Chain A
Amino acid sequence: AQSVTQLDSHVSVSEGTPVLLRCNYSSSYSPSLFWYVQHPNKGLQLLLKYTSAATLVKGINGFEAEFKKSETSFHLTKPSAHMSDAAEYFCVVTPYGNNRLAFGKGNQVVVIP
């Protein structure tokens, strides 16, 4: 069963416009949720994480995400895209009640000048 769903494998946004990346998850436990960013040929950098504290999580580089349990969602947003935001974004969940991670398929974000 798919633990993490990220639709829209490719997302194009114009510089200065909002970014919205959707993530839905399934878990029998109370999961921890993360968004990571990966630039080409680089490792993953943690953007933000939710671990049962405030449902609106603020991360680095102006990104934030809101945990909505009723919708099993953890969408990532940023008010204004910057050229440096062009990268691959992964929604990641701990669906098994331990520290094993389940990755979404990723969103490739392209920022148009």
Chain B
Amino acid sequence: GAVVSQHPSRVICKSGTSVKIECRSLDFQATTMFWYRQFPKQSLMLMATSNEGSKATYEQGVEKDKFLINHASLTLSTLTVTSAHPEDSSFYICSATGDRKASTDTQYFGPGTRLTVL
């Protein structure tokens, strides 16, 4: 139980284009989803927290107009990197917490999306 998927697993795009990454909770309802960014050989940095049906809360230093987050349903959150540039190349990971007692205090992570901007 408590499986989170991400799509796509890898994406390569040209500079200036936008890329959408999907995060889905497959077997539970995700009341809260989180988006992280991970640079090579570094730890995860929280970008934003999103609750279903409300605006995302961004961490300090994260551009909300650059990284658009939508959490339209209890099983889906999307991260759109707008006008991507090479410095946006990174590993993006989502996580989710659910509404079942067993999972409300634990974040379940997706497998990540490797974004490369040329």
Contacts and interface: CB of A to CB of B under 8 A. Distances in A.
Contacts, number: 46
Nearest to B41: A108
A104 B112 CA distance: 19
Interface stretch (B12-20, B73-81, B103-111): B103-111
A72 interface: no
A101 B34 CA distance: 10
A90 B42 CA distance: 10
B85 interface: no
B50 interface: no
B105 A99 contact: yes
Interface string A94-113: 10000111011110100000
A96 to B, nearest CB: 11
Contacts of A51: 105
B106 A34 contact: yes
Contacts of A103: 43-44
B43 A44 contact: no
A63 interface: no
Given A103-B43, A105-B42, A46 B108 contact: yes
Contacts of A100: 46, 49
Given A42-B112, A43-B109, A45-B109, A99 B97 contact: yes
Interface of B: 4, 6, 32, 34, 41-44, 46, 49, 91, 93, 95, 97, 105-112, 114
Given A43-B93, A44-B93, 16 more contacts: A36-B109, A41-B91, A41-B112, A43-B110, A43-B111, A44-B109, A46-B109, A49-B105, A90-B43, A90-B44, A99-B105, A100-B49, A101-B34, A101-B107, A103-B43, A106-B43
